[in-house]
Structure 1
């Protein structure tokens, strides 16, 4: 088996294991031992493919950011369909799944991890890319005429990301967020820039 293929398989196995640990026990339980035990591999496997555990975590977050690019493309393509609020609620619900919320907590509290991930500008990695995704979508809606042309899409995106993160991070592990509360928040944030009939 070519080395590259083998490496990708091991990485995926370890990333999947890390996500299961996060879902089951939260970010505090995520250790190199927990990951290798969950993946059912020897303890040294992780360190053969990653410099250290923070390097592993950084790659786990980067993998999540790569997946976010696919969601961004789908959201951008949704401009002009359904309502702006519906598109935003669905995007935020998908974005802030339990794994992303847990990873965001890790980024907040692990300085070394945050330093490794900070590749441009200010802000929290992963949330920066999420904000860019929403800003691109809102800009596309401006072009469709469904949002005011002078709307501050960057500020709107920041407000949406911040508010949604607080809602999703505040839920107990294993419980679902009331999407009605999220929808109300989205409507409030975009009320001044979207025509009432298009909300």
Structure 2
């Protein structure tokens, strides 16, 4: 896109372009030139909207975290419907079937980005921490409804599910796991709290 031609919602277009580069080529290929080329705009467009490239990347991560917040609401609203394992499997597939794994790789690979994100999120790995909070909030509601054991440690269960889910989806070159593979992991992780509830 030539300089002087307005982009509609430039931030969203730049974020989407960064996501495509990240998914296709990995975190090492993510540069301001790669993003603007992918978006079809002049390099100056990015710098008109963001102080520098790391500021752009931090905003990209925060934007994707906001999507997890939206997913969290939907997951909590599913409590009491379907099965606990089914709801968790769908949540993990939706979370890690997107750009979340690539974003985590990006955060880990860029020191300046991590430092900027620490200012707003002082603990945990961004994206994974929010995902674990989403799962814990859902499991808390299910525990209150009596669908999992009253003494279930929802925080540990959430961390276990997020860690296992991340490992399942971490190979960006291979085929992603299917719902059956994810469901098997979910069933194993939550089996004890479901079984004890039935005793």
Fold conserved (TM > 0.5)? yes
RMSD across aligned C-alpha pairs, in angstroms?
A: 1.9
Match of 2:162? Answer: 161
Q: In structure 2, what is the Cα distance between the partners aligned to 1:114 and 1:106?
A: 9
Task: Give the Å deviation of 1:121.
Answer: 4.3
Q: Do the aligned partners of residues 98 and 67 (structure 1) sit closer, same or farther apart at CA in structure 2, a change above 3 Å counting?
A: closer
Match of 1:45? Answer: 45
CA contact (8 A) 2:149 2:196 kept: no
Alignment of 1:121-136 (within 5 A): 121-136=122-137
1:81 maps to 2:78: no
Task: Give the Å deviation of 1:28.
Answer: 2.0
Q: Deviations over 1:169-190 (max 9, x none)?
A: 03525x2313222111111111
Q: Report which stretch shifted further, 69-78 or 44-53.
A: 44-53
CA contact (8 A) 1:13 1:39 kept: yes
Task: Give the Å deviation of 1:197.
Answer: 9.3
CA contact (8 A) 1:171 1:177 kept: no
TM-score by length of 1: 0.90
- Corresponding residue pairs, total: 192
Task: Give the Å deviation of 1:37.
Answer: 0.4
Q: In structure 2, what is the Cα distance between the partners aligned to 1:29 and 1:112?
A: 16
Ranges of 4+ aligned residues in structure 1 off by more than 6 Å: none
- In structure 2, the gaps of 5 or more residues are 1-5
- In structure 1, the gaps of 5 or more residues are 1-5
Q: In structure 2, what is the Cα distance between the partners aligned to 1:127 and 1:113?
A: 15
Alignment of 1:57-136 (within 5 A): 57-118=57-118, 119-136=120-137
Q: Report which stretch shifted further, 152-161 or 181-190.
A: 181-190
Match of 1:138? Answer: 139
TM-score by length of 2: 0.90
Match of 1:35? Answer: 35
CA contact (8 A) 2:97 2:176 kept: no
